[in-house]
């Protein structure tokens, strides 16, 4: 059986067993005290046979369903809440823990991200504690605690993947599942646009809100992960069918970004793809063709309409960009809060609940509402966790960038070279997107970066071991 047929077989098995779990989840929702243990046992029984042969079917299932219907890990543990996807997740965690317990290697595997992650957890834990003194208790329970869970969950994703991947083939399987998820997500976003369901209040332009019911969030999501598909599509893989798969995934992802009409999403994704094309030494003629296609796309009526709405006439006849105006007011308030507590910050969600009359009045006059968001991911970290929190997060991004660049420069394998250059593009895109938006908290949006980071590091490590074994 070919590798591609093997993946297809695994996915069909996921659909079969996932369908059984989902059906039972719908059938007995009124007996949570009984159903959670039953689901947990069912998940273990259903997946144990597959696990013995190839446990990554479960990881694949988790990866595919995260953005579509995936609740929090804590909610899954709570016996008063039942969701078949939570059961799938708990089954996966339990099995991975069992597998790790029988693994002769030490519990915590070294990686370049271990120390940066420790500092991020420490600084954000301090920020979370501070929230108790700033934010109402109901908001802590309903909003901040789930956000803090999400940060812990992507760390769990990273370490589970780091621990669970034991061969180069398994690392490639993980990356395949993420690309399959990207393909499904892109198709959903395009379908959303084609059905003309999403109309934003901000500009009355029909845009694809997609997975997150917000066009800008969907655009950010694709701007993070499309670079991986582009990097693999341009990496000169020897197998034509894999080149075609990654090319189709990249193409659908790019279209999914465009139909959101997010200026930041389109700009960051475009720049990341240009950098990837240059680093991958793509033929100049192909670059010209791609630029022509992009030029035609960006000359379309809706995109021109979107950019024409960037500037409107103000009360005194001046040209004002409403979104930039809102950001300038929000950033002024953010810098004010940062100066008050520069080192450890004000706590999670403090920006919204610490009212400063001057800025609230400005926002109300400009937009008819005093509600504000920071509209900058890095300023948001500074407000929440201070300079220490921002340094910890930047340390983490730099660590990812450095080991991706190292793999890209050293690797002779086109596959790992493609994943590494995709990571370089993804980090560049992440930084650009979060200069004008706050897209760093959502588990569905950020978790895949840490899964891919673990798969890249472990997969390339095994590749080097395999090469040494062949030469010796």
Q: Give the model confidence (pLDDT) of 10-29 as tens digits.
A: 455 444 444 444 444 433 33
CA torsion angle for 434, 440, 444, 445 (degrees, to 10)? 20
Mean pLDDT over each residue of the chain, to the nearest integer: 68
* 181 pLDDT higher than 90: no
Minimum mean pLDDT range among 124-133, 146-155, 260-269, 409-418: 146-155
Report residue 246's pLDDT band, with 50, 70 and 90 as the boundaries.
confident
Report residue 425's pLDDT band, with 50, 70 and 90 as the boundaries.
very high
Q: What is the mean pLDDT of residues 104-122?
A: 76
Please count the other Cβ atoms lying within 10 Å of the Cβ belonging to residue 215. 27
* 259 pLDDT higher than 50: yes
Give the whole-angstrom CA distance, residue 217 versus residue 256.
12
Write out the two tokens for 328: 């300038």
* 67 pLDDT higher than 50: no
* 309 pLDDT higher than 70: no
Q: What is the mean pLDDT of residues 255-273?
A: 81
Q: What is the mean pLDDT of residues 207-232?
A: 78
Minimum mean pLDDT range among 125-139, 329-343, 360-374, 429-443: 360-374
* 70 pLDDT higher than 70: no
**What integer pLDDT is reported at residue 243 of this predicted model?**
84
* 291 pLDDT higher than 70: no
CA-based torsion, 375, 376, 377, 380: positive or negative: negative
- b/e per residue 39-76 (b: at least 16 CB within 10 A): bbebbbebbeebbeebbbbbbbbbbbbbbeebebbeeb
CA torsion angle for 210, 92, 120, 347 (degrees, to 10)? 60
**What integer pLDDT is reported at residue 358 of this predicted model?**
58
**What integer pLDDT is reported at residue 215 of this predicted model?**
75
* 325 pLDDT higher than 50: yes
Collapsed DSSP state (helix, strand, coil) of residue 197: coil
* 343 pLDDT higher than 50: yes
């Amino acid at each position: 059986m070919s590798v591609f047929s093997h993946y297809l077989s695994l996915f069909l098995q996921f659909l079969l067993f996932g369908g059984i779990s989902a059906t039972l989840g719908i059938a007995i929702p009124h007996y949570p005290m009984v159903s959670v243990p039953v689901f947990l046992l069912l998940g273990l029984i259903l997946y144990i046979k597959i696990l013995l042969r190839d446990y990554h079917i479960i990881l694949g299932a988790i990866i595919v369903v995260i953005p579509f219907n995936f609740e929090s890990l804590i909610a899954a543990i709570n016996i008063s809440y039942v969701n078949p996807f939570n059961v799938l997740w708990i089954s996966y965690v339990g099995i991975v823990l069992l597998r790790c317990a029988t693994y002769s290697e030490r519990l915590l595997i070294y990686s370049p991200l271990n120390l940066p992650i420790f500092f991020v957890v420490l600084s954000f834990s301090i920020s979370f504690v501070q929230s108790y003194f700033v934010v109402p208790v109901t908001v802590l329970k309903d909003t901040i605690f789930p956000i803090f869970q999400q940060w812990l969950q992507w760390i769990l994703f990273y370490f589970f993947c780091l621990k669970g991947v034991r061969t180069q083939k398994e690392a490639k399987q993980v990356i395949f599942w993420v690309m399959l998820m990207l393909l499904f997500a892109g198709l959903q976003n395009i379908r959303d646009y084609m059905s003309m369901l999403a109309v934003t209040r901000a500009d009355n332009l029909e845009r694809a809100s997609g997975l997150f019911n917000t066009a800008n969030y969907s655009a950010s999501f694709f701007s993070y992960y499309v670079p991986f598909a582009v990097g693999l599509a341009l990496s000169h893989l020897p197998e034509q069918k894999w080149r075609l798969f990654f090319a189709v995934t990249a193409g659908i992802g790019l279209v999914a970004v465009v139909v959101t009409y997010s200026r930041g999403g389109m700009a960051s994704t475009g720049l990341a793809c240009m950098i990837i094309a240059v680093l991958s030494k793509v033929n100049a003629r192909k670059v010209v063709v791609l630029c022509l296609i992009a030029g035609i796309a960006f000359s379309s009526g809706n995109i021109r309409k979107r950019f024409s709405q960037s500037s409107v006439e103000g009360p005194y006849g001046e040209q004002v960009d409403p979104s930039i105006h809102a950001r300038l007011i929000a950033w002024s308030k953010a810098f004010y809060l940062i100066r008050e507590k520069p080192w450890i910050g004000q706590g999670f969600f403090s920006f919204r609940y610490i009212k400063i009359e001057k800025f609230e009045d400005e926002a109300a006059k400009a937009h008819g509402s005093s509600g504000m968001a920071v509209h900058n991911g890095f300023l948001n970290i500074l407000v929440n966790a201070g300079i220490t929190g921002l340094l910890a997060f930047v340390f983490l991004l730099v660590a990812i960038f450095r080991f991706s660049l190292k793999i890209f420069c050293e690797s002779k394998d086109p596959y790992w070279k493609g994943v590494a250059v995709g990571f370089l593009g993804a980090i560049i895109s992440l930084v650009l997107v979060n200069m004008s938006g706050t897209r760093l908290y959502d588990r569905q949006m950020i978790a895949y970066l840490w899964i891919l980071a673990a798969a890249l590091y472990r997969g390339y490590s095994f590749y080097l071991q395999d090469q040494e074994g062949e030469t010796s």
